[in-house]
Amino acid sequence: MTGICDGRVVVVTGAGRGLGRAHALAFAAEGACVVVNDLGVGPDGTSDAESPAARVAEEIRAAGGDAVAHGGDIATPGGAASLVTTALETYGRLDTLVNNAGFLRDRMLVNLDEDDWDAVLRVHLKGHFLTLRHAAAHWRAEAKAGRTPVARIVNTSSGAGLLGSVGQGNYSAAKAGIVALTLVAAAELARYGVQVNALAPAARTRMTERAFAETMAAPDTGFDAMAPENVSPLVVWLGSARSEGVTGRVFEAEAGRITVMEGWRPGPTADKGARWNPAEAGEAVRKLLAGSEPPGPVYGA
């Protein structure tokens, strides 16, 4: 297979199903060798007897591509390190990391216990950090050895991380953290030839099947607007050498729509030049808010 990722080695986490599987297949279709990572757990992170990573890797090979399965837990230092090692030992290089693994433990905040908080932050935020850290360490070593890579990282955030989502305080916090991690990584790793971007996708997966229970297929074209395969072309482009110069950005992708997200930046400001008293501060804030853009609505509010 040849395409815009011909010769590149790509790691995709959580690639056994849904968005991750779609990304892995799309990269392979564009010529990449793919390391398919999936721990093989249910939508809530509990044990699942299946081995979806091996199944997707075989699917890629059956189509004429090259792939290897990795079943390690990327939210552990050993699992994240072995993921990078698998790419290097199997293919001799690593070019792109797509962080996609995750699951949900939805609860309203008053019912959200510590275990559900920790579990979601662990797989989403810690899982992103550990794989990024180990891949970045390899690329830094390559750059210092005079072999500056054309490396790419694509992280997976969510609209919940950008706007919040009722009943998903843990997930929203993790996904917001991924955006901040993306911005810091893009700034720190640029000197080593690494570009880092984030994606907030909307698609029908095991995690979103209740939200997208009704299909959005257009009757006249048959276009399945919520298919995860709609998101993958942007991910593949961001993971390719052709995305040169694009880093530290966040995109939304849904159906046939791609949006550049514009995050926190200074809005209306008042400066007294001295300390405010509480009543003055409140009056100033009221005036500033009246001239500011209202925030987007929290999902489910």
List the domain boundaries for the chain.
Answer: 9-261
Number of helices and strands in the chain (H, E): 9, 8
Residue with structure tokens 């729509």?
Answer: 257
232 is catalytic: no
**82, 157, 158, 243: which is the annotated catalytic residue?**
158
The string of DSSP codes covering 25-51 is HHHHHTT-EEEEE---B-TTS-B-S--
Specify the length of the chain in residues. 301
Element of type H or E holding 90: helix 77-91
**175, 192, 232, 243: which is the annotated catalytic residue?**
175
Q: Which CATH class is domain 9-261?
A: alpha beta
Digit-coded pLDDT (tens) for 231-290: 999 999 999 999 999 999 999 999 899 999 998 889 999 999 999 999 999 999 999 999
158 is catalytic: yes
Burial per residue of 241-254, b for 16 or more beta-carbon CB atoms within 10 angstroms, e otherwise:
bebeeebebbbbbb
Beta-bridge partners for 168: 107
175 is catalytic: yes
The whole-number average pLDDT for the span 188-211 is: 82
**82, 126, 157, 171: which is the annotated catalytic residue?**
171
Element of type H or E holding 135: helix 127-144
Digit-coded pLDDT (tens) for 87-104: 999 999 999 999 999 988
Q: How much is the pTM?
A: 0.90
